[in-house]
Structure 1
Amino acid sequence: MPVAVITGGSKGLGRALALALAERGWSLVLTARGPGELAEAGRAAEGLGGVVRTVAGDVADAGHRSEVVAAARALGGVDLLVNNASALGAAPLVTLAGLGTAGLRAALETNVVAAHGLVREALPLLRAAPAGAVVSVSSDAAVEAYPAWGGYGASKAALDHWSAVLGVEEPGLRVWAVDPGDLRTELYRAAVPDDPDEAERPEPEAVVPAFLRLLDERPVSGRYTAAALLEAAADGAGR
């Protein structure tokens, strides 16, 4: 069975992806900071037939990243690594004038540095996989100038460029940065607690088919949006 490592796998998009892959028979290594929610997500994935290992901890910690990769190695390797764990830098979000350097550093540490460290640790296993892939969850804030989203957006822009370079340097892998769109998640709620449009935002499960399409069709490495992937799939089904 292929093995996926998913950071931020206890809730939101990470949990939704984990359940979808478990239904497909994947083995999973899930990591997140909250051990209770992580254990529950692991049980839910196991209930769908997946072989699951949960490793609670902070992906920004190098020792924790080593534990995660060791757990994947014990399951047979790493076929897919999903950099989903994210930090806002400030919650609720603030303007750049109000964002301290510690907040910006925290966003960069989790969203970029930790992703880099985890991929470096897992790279030999990804290269050895028959179809190794890295997915980094991006944001429209990486390409649009939204007030108060500057720190988070800068970290996601850096993650996008890092992913693009990795895709060039590792032609044997697929490296995709994916903007899932605005979803109804705890992260978004923490960023914008009084969001009047929250009820209109889709649940994370709604965009999971876009990620599965990447795995099924393996397009070239690059940046994708879930909306475009879902639209293309709908157009293809309608022909």
Structure 2
Amino acid sequence: MSGRRKQEFNIVLLGAVGVGKSALTVKFITRRFIMEYDPSIEDIYTKQEDVDGQELIVNIMDTFEKDDSNSDRYYSWADAYMIVYGITDRDSFATARDYLVRVTDYLKATGKDCPVALVGNKSDLERYRQITKLEGQALSCDFDGLFFECTAAEEYECVEDTFHGLIYSIQKHRGDKHTVCPPPLFISEERLQSGLKTRPRSPRNGAADKKDEKSPNKKTPTSFKLFNKSFKIFN
């Protein structure tokens, strides 16, 4: 069993600049929330993850599209697509819809069968919400996709559930009979009393991090690789 090759899952994150694709990625990889990063750098991250007792390798591409970008380079690489918008940004929601159209057209043209998830990020900024959960769910349903709401700024579990939900869906598409695939869902956070654009550190986030540090045996530590990016991360 120890020599058995681990399954790999390639997930591509798409969305407008500033919606938190890098923040979600690094939260999943490190359990930490990044405050500053260069959004113009595209990277691939690799993490060994235990999902329901199965050791898996998750590869995540955090994309940055330019006018001359060749989208096929990651459309063909992906086993699943995570299209992210900010719940406080109506324009990013429109951009997410454009990505849904483009990904759907690509899948139809190539005959490729991959899950697509629409993810509303920054659910901790409830007081600045511009897109309701029902709007997000309705748009996702229009494209037969999964829908989640979460935030990279708060508890790790909501981000973990989002990525794991997409991994379950990949396994289902691959026909893994040993995988129990939960139904599509959305993950939401409790409303915060303040939500400035500067994204101050939440007291709950600090408590969650300390809990993780004090209980290392609760979850097996994961390994990861980061390429080319430097971040300012809350410890």
| TM range, smaller chain | 0.3 to 0.5
What TM-score comes out, normalization by structure 1 length?
Answer: 0.46
- What TM-score do the two structures reach when normalised by structure 2? 0.47
The structure with the largest strand share of the pair is: 2
Identify which of structures 1 and 2 has the higher relative contact order when contacts are C-alpha pairs closer than 8 Å and 6+ apart: 2
